[in-house]
């Protein structure tokens, strides 16, 4: 059986009159990539702040690697790391010096060799001795994540890690995240990019109006959509232009049939729209 490394139950959080999290619950398997999807202001960053001990929930519970986030925050911090929405690197220092600083703060052994290994992992060897102020956005983000990984945390929180990156750097970041999971790190990812979640995540949860309205694999989320169809593929343009009504009459058979699943974007928008309609109906009643 898969080991559960994060278990969240009934999280609630309000900022004055703004009830951001109303009832958030989910579990995450060890070594997996979990993506939390949601619109701007849905509460994704609030969830991460609570799980990374930066913010206290009003109610509910969260357990990471067997430690309660509220009562054992010190133990939780020892096994997690966080990369926020904004890159946190020192631009005056070189890439190597940034890593050296973090390594010294964490009192890591064999620091010189460790830094060389991380520079190789993040594909920054050629820029290691250049000031970070000369780095591109993608290079800075890779350095930022690498600094978070020093000390080999069991859980890495990535809060919208590819925001602002160009397509090439975004794909490079995806590969980096995949490599992390293969090495055994559990990755908790928040994102607004549906294709990012679809490509990376083993499990996706959709956060809307303070609650998780759907959770599962990409395949599962697509299968729960009420309206699907099939796509008929023909081996000639003549057949393709023949109406479905004429198929039986003329004895024309499809050369192959495949299920036509909706895109993840269709799933996301449909679930949110259904939730809005249900809430509006309940208010009327």
Of 270 and 82, the structure prediction assigns the larger pLDDT to: 82
174 in a structural domain: yes
Which pLDDT score, from 0 to 100, does residue 268 have?
65
Query: What whole-number distance in Å separates Cα of residue 52 and Cα of residue 164?
Result: 24
74 in a structural domain: yes
131 in a structural domain: no
Domain count for the chain: 2
Of 180, 198, 220, which residue is a domain's last? 220
Residue 229: band (very low, low, confident or very high) from pLDDT cuts 50, 70, 90: low
Which pLDDT score, from 0 to 100, does residue 280 have?
47
117 in a structural domain: no
Question: For residue 57, what are the domain limits?
Answer: 2-92+146-220
Question: What CATH number should be reported for the domain holding residue 63?
Answer: 3.40.50.300
In a shared domain, residues 241 and 266: yes
Of 177, 198, 220, which residue is a domain's last? 220
User: In the predicted model, what is the mean pLDDT of the chain?
Assistant: 84
Parallel, antiparallel, or unpaired: how do β-strands 203-208 and 33-37 relate?
Answer: parallel
In a shared domain, residues 166 and 186: yes
Query: What whole-number distance in Å separates Cα of residue 196 and Cα of residue 268?
Result: 13
In a shared domain, residues 250 and 206: no
For 180-224, what is each residue's pLDDT tens digit? 899 899 999 998 888 888 889 999 999 988 999 889 988 888 777
Instruction: Report angle CA 155, 159, 163 to the nearest 5 degrees.
Output: 140
In a shared domain, residues 236 and 202: no
Say whether pLDDT at 276 is over 80: no
109 in a structural domain: no
In a shared domain, residues 155 and 32: yes
For 98-135, what is each residue's pLDDT tens digit? 999 999 988 888 888 889 988 988 889 999 999 999 99
For 161-176, what is each residue's pLDDT tens digit? 887 778 888 888 888 8
For 66-94, what is each residue's pLDDT tens digit? 999 999 999 999 999 998 877 888 999 99
């Amino acid at each position: 059986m898969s080991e559960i490394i994060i278990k969240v139950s009934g999280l609630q959080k309000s900022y004055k009159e703004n009830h951001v999290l109303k009832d958030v619950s989910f579990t995450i398997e060890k070594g997996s990539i979990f993506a939390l999807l949601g619109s701007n202001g849905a509460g994704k960053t609030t969830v991460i702040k609570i799980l990374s001990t930066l913010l206290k929930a009003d109610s509910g519970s969260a357990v990471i690697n067997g430690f309660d986030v509220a009562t054992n925050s010190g133990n939780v911090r020892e096994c997690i790391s966080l990369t926020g929405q904004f890159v946190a690197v020192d631009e005056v220092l070189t890439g190597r010096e940034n890593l050296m600083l973090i390594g010294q703060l964490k009192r890591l052994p064999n620091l010189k060799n460790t830094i060389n290994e991380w520079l190789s992992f993040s594909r920054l060897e050629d820029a290691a001795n250049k000031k970070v102020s000369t780095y591109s956005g993608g290079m800075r983000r890779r350095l930022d994540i690498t600094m978070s990984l020093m000390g080999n945390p069991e859980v890495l929180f990535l809060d919208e890690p590819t925001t602002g990156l160009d397509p090439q750097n975004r794909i490079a970041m995806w590969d980096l995240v995949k490599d992390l999971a293969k090495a055994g790190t559990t990755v908790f990812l928040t994102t607004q990019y549906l294709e990012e979640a679809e490509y990376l995540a083993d499990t996706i949860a959709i956060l809307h109006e303070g609650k998780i309205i759907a959770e599962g694999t990409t395949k599962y989320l697509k299968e729960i959509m009420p309206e699907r169809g099939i796509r008929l593929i023909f081996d000639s343009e003549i057949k393709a232009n023949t109406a479905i009504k004429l198929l039986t009459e003329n004895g024309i058979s499809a050369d192959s049939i495949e299920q036509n699943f909706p895109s993840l974007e269709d799933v996301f928008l449909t679930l949110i729209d259904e939730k809005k309609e249900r809430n509006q109906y309940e208010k009327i009643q």
